[in-house]
Amino acid sequence: MFGFRQRRRKQLRMAPFPTDWLVIVKRNVPLYRYLPEADRKELHSHMLIFLDEKEFEGCGGLQINDEIKVTIAAQACILLLHRKTNYYHTLKSVVVYPSAYVANISQPVGNGIVAEGESVRLGESWHSGAVVLSWNDVLHGAADIHDGHNVVFHEFAHQIDHDGGESHGSPVMENRSMYLAWARILGTEYAKLSKDTEHGCRTVMDRYGATNPAEFFAVATECFFEKPIQLKRKHPELYEEFMLYYQQDPAKFNLSRKRIP
C-alpha cells in the first residue's frame, strides 16, 4: 500500500496542472500571486496529491465543485511548502457548509457537571480525520491577505498539530533540537498574549489565541502568513521560530516582491 501511494504521488507530481484550476487559484487565493515561481510549481504538485487523496463532502445543501475543492486545497497546501510532508496523513475528509454553522458542544463546568449547548462555528478540526469549514468564510479569509484571519490556515494548522499526537501547539519537527527553543519562545509569547488579552491591550495576533496553546499555534500561523511584517516587528523571536518551522519567509515576499500576474 505504501509503495503504491508513493508511486501514485510521483506520477501526480509530474502531471500538468489543469488550466481551469489555475484560474480558480488566481481568482480566489490572492496570496498565490505573491509566491515565487518555484513555490507556485511546488504548490501545484502538492495540490494534485491533496485533491487525489482527500474526500470532500458538502453539508447544508452545498454542492461540492472544483472551485470549492481547489480554493481550499491551495490554502491548505501553502502550509506544506518547502517541508517534508505526508499530506495531513490522518485527514480523510473535508466537510464544507455554505456558511457559518451550528455545532453541539459539551463542556465540563465542575463537580462532574457537563453543560450542553450550541456554538456557531466557522470551522473546526477533528482528531478523527476531518476538517469542517464554512465556504463563505473560506472565501472571505482568502480574499484579504492582510487581516490575519484565514479559516483554512487556522484549521489546517490544527491538523499539523494533530500529527504530533495531542494538540498542544507543538507539532512534529524534523530536528529534535528545535523543540527546546520552540517550547520556550511559544510559551513566553502565549503567556504574553494571555496577559495582554486579560488587560485589553492591542495585539497583533487575534486574542482567540489566548484560549490555549493549540489555539495559539493556529492563530499565530494565520498571523505569520497574513500579517508577517507586524509579527516580525513586534514578535521577532516568534516569527523566527515559525520561519524555521514552515521554511518560509512571508515578510520577504509580501514586501519586497512585486505581485506576479
What would the pLDDT profile of 15-45 be if each residue is shown by its tens digit?
999 999 999 999 999 999 999 999 999 999 9
**What DSSP letter does each residue of 33-83 carry, written as one string?**
GGS-HHHHHHHHHHHHHHHHH-EEEE-TTPPP-HHHHHHHHHHHHHTTTTS
Query: In the predicted model, is pLDDT for residue 107 greater than 90?
Result: no
What is the predicted pLDDT for the residue at 94?
97
Is the model more confident about 97 or about 116?
97
Is the model more confident about 48 or about 121?
48
Query: In the predicted model, is pLDDT for residue 100 greater than 80?
Result: yes
> Span 36-61, mean pLDDT?
96
What is the predicted pLDDT for the residue at 170?
80
Q: Which residues pair with 131 in a beta bridge?
A: 94, 125
Query: In the predicted model, is pLDDT for residue 116 greater than 70?
Result: no
What is the predicted pLDDT for the residue at 256?
45
25/136 Cα distance (integer angstroms):
16
Q: How confident is the model at residue 114 (pLDDT cuts 50, 70, 90)?
A: very low
Q: Which residues pair with 116 in a beta bridge?
A: 106
205/219 Cα distance (integer angstroms):
7
Query: In the predicted model, is pLDDT for residue 219 greater than 50?
Result: yes
pTM of the predicted structure, to 2 decimals: 0.90
Query: In the predicted model, is pLDDT for residue 4 greater than 90?
Result: no
**What is the residue-averaged pLDDT of the chain?**
89
Of 92, 27, 95, the C-alpha closest to 53 is 92
Backbone angles phi, psi at 260, to 5 degrees: -90, 135
Three-state SS for 136?
Answer: helix
Residues near 37 by Cβ (< 8 Å), separated by ≥ 6? 260
What is the predicted pLDDT for the residue at 62?
96
What is the predicted pLDDT for the residue at 24?
98
Q: Can you tell me which residue has the cell 519537527? A: 173
pLDDT above 70 covers what percent of the chain? 88
Domains of the chain: 2-255 (3.40.390.10)
pLDDT tens for residues 130-177? Answer: 999 999 999 999 999 999 999 999 999 999 998 766 667 788 887 778
Query: In the predicted model, is pLDDT for residue 112 greater than 60?
Result: no
Choose the weakest-confidence range: 4-8, 127-131, 165-169, 197-201: 165-169
CB 46, CB 87: distance < 8 Å: yes
